[in-house]
Amino acid sequence: MAPIITRPSITAADLARMRDRLFFDGDKAARKLSGFWVLLVLAAVIASAGVVGDSVATVIGAMIVAPLMTPILGTLLSVVTGDRVNLVRSLGLVVAGAVTVVGIAWLFGLIVVGPVVAETNSQVAGRVHPQLIDLIAALATGAVGSFALIRSDISETVPGVAIAISLVPPLAVVGLTLESGAGRQSLGALLLFLTNVGAILLSGLGVMVFYRGFAQSGRKRGRVRRRFAVGVFGTFVLLLTVPLAVATYGVIQDTLARADVEPVASRWAQAAGWHVVSVSSDDKGTQVIVTGGLPAPDLQALRKALAEAGDADLHVTVVFVPSQRVEIGP
């Protein structure tokens, strides 16, 4: 007789263990809160320094130290258990923590010489243009985090989850770019943070449903809260997909534009003894940087070549960087 495979479920002991780990209440509340704020401030400083120094290793260190995952998962568990007090407390810590990180990064930016923006910093550039692929990755990572929370035997995966989900670095980018006057980049980094938070909540809710977590808080109340939570979390993530989809479409268009312009520009530049340094695209069009000896190549020839390739409607900006070799000696 084949063994009967039953769907796993969360026990009362599992819920008690998760409550003790995620909720900031009871006799240990003061100790947990002090630990949370100390780690958060340190993570904000580390993340800000890592972004300013364009250091991947330092930013990863901030991801590991950052404690924001705890109140986010606490928000999820509050919904599952129907605990309104801890729901408000956990959400409050997420919001207050996010504002604190942004504020610290903004202050950090005041002591930095020069703006910290995407054009000159790869850590910023990687966090100000979130796409749909970031949402997909965050959904998967949130599911892993919830699964590791439920299964105490695999809790060692949590550091990997912290690195993958990236909560504090985007907030540090928000503060630094805001201080640098790059408002649109700040909004992009904030969108990435909200995407990660929404994905954690939505995928985590799915994991809790799979493990029958709502059954521990009463079936009737559990069904009502589950339906409401799915609606709120789902709507939140759905609203986030709109700007993410727009950004993804823009990236695809930019990639296609670069693919069209680069070979045409390379042939045009080579014909005049010049060469293409780079081809990049943004919302203003495509920029081609070329370098070589004077005289500069004929722009009308490039315009004609683009028209023949079917790209006459593209807005292309050419940046000439003349180079000249002069030998001085006896």
Using CA atoms, how far residue 247 sits from 136, 168, 316, in Å, is 14, 22, 20
Q: How many domains does the chain have?
A: 2
Asked whether residue 223 is domain-assigned, the answer is no
Domain span including residue 302: 257-322
Average pLDDT, the chain: 82
Q: Are 264 and 157 in a shared domain?
A: no
Overall average pLDDT of the 126-148 stretch: 84
Overall average pLDDT of the 137-145 stretch: 84
Q: Are 85 and 188 in a shared domain?
A: yes
For the chain, percent of residues with pLDDT exceeding 90 = 24
- What was the pLDDT predicted at 178? 94
- What was the pLDDT predicted at 220? 46
Q: Are 183 and 280 in a shared domain?
A: no
Question: Is residue 55 a contact partner of residue 124, using CB atoms and an 8 Å limit?
Answer: no
Q: Are 179 and 262 in a shared domain?
A: no
Does a cis peptide bond (omega within 30 degrees of 0) precede residue 295? Answer: yes
Report pTM: 0.77
pLDDT-derived band at 103, boundaries 50, 70, 90: very high
More confident: 164 or 230: 230
In the predicted model, is pLDDT for residue 221 greater than 80?
Answer: no
- What was the pLDDT predicted at 33? 94
- What was the pLDDT predicted at 6? 60
Asked whether residue 246 is domain-assigned, the answer is no
Overall average pLDDT of the 262-275 stretch: 87
More confident: 180 or 134: 180
Using CA atoms, how far residue 82 sits from 76, 197, 218, 301, in Å, is 10, 20, 9, 69
Q: Look at residues 217, 243, 266 and tell me which one is the last residue of a structural domain.
A: 217
In the predicted model, is pLDDT for residue 41 greater than 80?
Answer: yes
Q: Which two tokens stand for residue 323?
A: 């180079």
| Span between the terminal Cα atoms of the chain, in Å | 98
Asked whether residue 303 is domain-assigned, the answer is yes
Q: Are 164 and 24 in a shared domain?
A: yes
Q: Are 46 and 144 in a shared domain?
A: yes
* Residue range 235-251, pLDDT digits in tens: 888 888 888 888 777 77
Q: Which two tokens stand for residue 289?
A: 């940087």
Asked whether residue 226 is domain-assigned, the answer is no
Half-sphere exposure of 33 (CA within 13 A, CB side): 12
Asked whether residue 244 is domain-assigned, the answer is no
